[in-house]
């Protein structure tokens, strides 16, 4: 059985881009009997940007409730918080001593920040904390600690798994074959989801649709989707945000029927109404479960407690193996 690991940062309310790009594919993978799945909430990773105590606390519950409301089965998956596995941070420290600085200089998040600073005529490291700079090393520790064979990621996160594989190779070459070399698992057919304005759905653009928006808010957001000036009775191109979102929720038959309506000249108002009805039918049960879990956080606490216990037990085995490899003496207590 192969081990699969993925993590999600608690940095705000999850939206449809998060759901279709990461959450739903990961939940589908968890149903595969060939995989042993470890899914975690990367709360320490979130500290690079979330430095408000109450927000981090709430965001952590939001992500846990999101996974569970969207269908994650805690009986089939080890769901835990990164902060509940202290071995992660010990391994991160060890790996820091084998990771070339040049590798961190090439990490996408750091490079993007440097480029933005240069365009703004700021010092290249303005606003860069060591959490951001060393982010790939902590992620490497997350991955290697659990002996993950596969890490589901979007295309934009692929580099982090490549870095983890490089660092694992450095360690194995220096101290002997200790770590599994992880591979990225990029879901097929999952591209960037478009938002209300046609750009990539992103909190930074303010064009997202939260997964658990109430019915009234959801309808309002769907009605805000930007469309072209095609008249109500004219054929509509299928290259539009409404159709792209509709396809994600629809069956093949529903998609074909909706495409035919658009090409025959359904109005944008009618198209938005049909999109809302389909979305709400899918999201309403998840919304109800999410709200219930938020009101009964003791259920979530117990799931995370059990998951953290299992994760720590496995992590300790890995750390023991690593300590032996590097020559750290353990005194029997």
Map tokens 């759905």 to a residue. Answer: 201
CA 219 – CA 213 distance, rounded (Å): 9
Helix (H, G, I), strand (E, B) or coil at 208: coil
The sign one gets for the Cα dihedral 4, 103, 88, 83 is: negative
CA 160 – CA 153 distance, rounded (Å): 9
* Domains observed in the chain: 2-192+297-326 (3.40.50.620), 212-292 (1.10.240.10)
* pLDDT for 54: 96
Q: 314-318: long-range contacts (C-beta < 8 A, 24 or more apart)?
A: 314/145, 314/146, 314/147, 315/85, 315/87, 315/88, 315/145, 315/146, 316/87, 318/87, 318/91, 318/144, 318/145, 318/146, 318/147
Of 282, 293, 294, 254, the closest CA to residue 16 belongs to 282
Q: Note the pTM of the prediction, 2 decimals.
A: 0.90
The per-residue pLDDT string of the chain (333 residues; one tens digit each, 9 = 90 and over) reads: 899 999 999 988 899 998 998 899 899 999 999 999 999 999 999 999 999 999 999 999 999 999 999 999 999 999 999 999 999 999 999 999 999 999 999 999 999 999 999 999 999 999 999 999 999 999 999 999 999 999 988 777 889 999 999 999 999 999 999 999 999 988 775 567 899 998 989 888 899 999 999 999 999 999 999 998 888 889 998 999 999 999 999 999 999 999 999 999 899 999 999 999 999 999 999 999 999 999 999 999 999 999 999 999 999 999 999 999 999 987 765
Helix (H, G, I), strand (E, B) or coil at 153: coil
What residues pair up with 2 in beta bridges, in sequence order? Answer: 35
* pLDDT for 156: 73
DSSP letters of 232-286? TTS---S-SHHHHHHHHHS-HHHHHHHHHHHHHT--HHHHHHHHHHHHHHHHHHH
* pLDDT for 189: 59
Query: How many Å separate Cα 33 from the centre of its chain?
Result: 22
- Identify whether the C-beta of residue 147 lies closer than 8 Å to the C-beta of residue 316: no
CA distances to 102, 115, 194, 240 from 227, rounded to whole Å, are 45, 33, 13, 7
Strands 35-41 and 2-8, by their bridges, are parallel
CA 212 – CA 218 distance, rounded (Å): 9
Question: Where on the phi/psi map is residue 135: left (φ > 0), alpha (ψ -120 to 50), or beta?
Answer: alpha
CA angle 84/87/89 to nearest 5° reads 90
CA 292 – CA 290 distance, rounded (Å): 5
* pLDDT for 191: 63
CA 330 – CA 82 distance, rounded (Å): 25
């Amino acid at each position: 059985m192969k081990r699969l690991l993925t993590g999600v940062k608690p940095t705000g309310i999850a939206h449809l881009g998060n759901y279709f790009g990461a959450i739903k594919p990961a939940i589908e993978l968890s149903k595969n009997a060939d995989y042993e799945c470890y899914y975690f909430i990367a709360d320490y990773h979130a500290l690079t940007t979330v430095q408000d105590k109450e927000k981090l606390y709430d965001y952590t519950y939001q992500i846990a409730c999101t996974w569970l409301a969207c269908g994650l089965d805690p009986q089939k998956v080890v769901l835990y918080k990164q902060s509940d596995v202290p071995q992660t941070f010990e391994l991160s420290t060890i790996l820091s001593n084998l990771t070339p600085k040049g590798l961190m200089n090439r990490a996408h998040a750091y490079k993007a920040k440097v480029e933005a600073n240069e365009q703004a005529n700021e010092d290249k490291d303005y606003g860069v904390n060591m959490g951001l700079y060393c982010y790939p090393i902590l992620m490497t520790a997350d991955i290697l600690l659990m002996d993950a064979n596969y890490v589901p990621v979007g295309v934009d996160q692929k580099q982090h798994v490549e870095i983890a594989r490089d660092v694992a190779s450095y360690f194995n070459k220096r101290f002997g074959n200790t770590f599994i070399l992880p591979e990225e698992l990029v879901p097929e057919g999952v591209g960037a989801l478009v938002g209300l304005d046609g750009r990539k759905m992103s909190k930074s653009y303010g064009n997202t649709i939260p997964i658990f928006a109430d019915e009234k808010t959801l309808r309002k957001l769907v009605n805000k989707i930007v469309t072209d000036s095609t008249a109500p009775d004219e054929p509509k191109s299928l290259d539009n945000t409404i159709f792209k979102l509709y396809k994600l929720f629809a069956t093949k038959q529903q998609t074909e029927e909706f495409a035919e309506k658009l090409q025959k000249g359904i109005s944008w108002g009618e198209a938005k109404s049909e999109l809302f009805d389909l979305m709400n039918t899918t999201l309403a049960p998840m919304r109800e479960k999410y709200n219930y879990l938020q009101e009964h956080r003791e259920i979530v606490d117990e799931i995370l407690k059990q998951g953290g216990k299992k994760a720590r037990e496995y992590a300790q085995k890995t750390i023991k193996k690593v300590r032996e490899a590097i020559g750290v003496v353990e005194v029997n207590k």
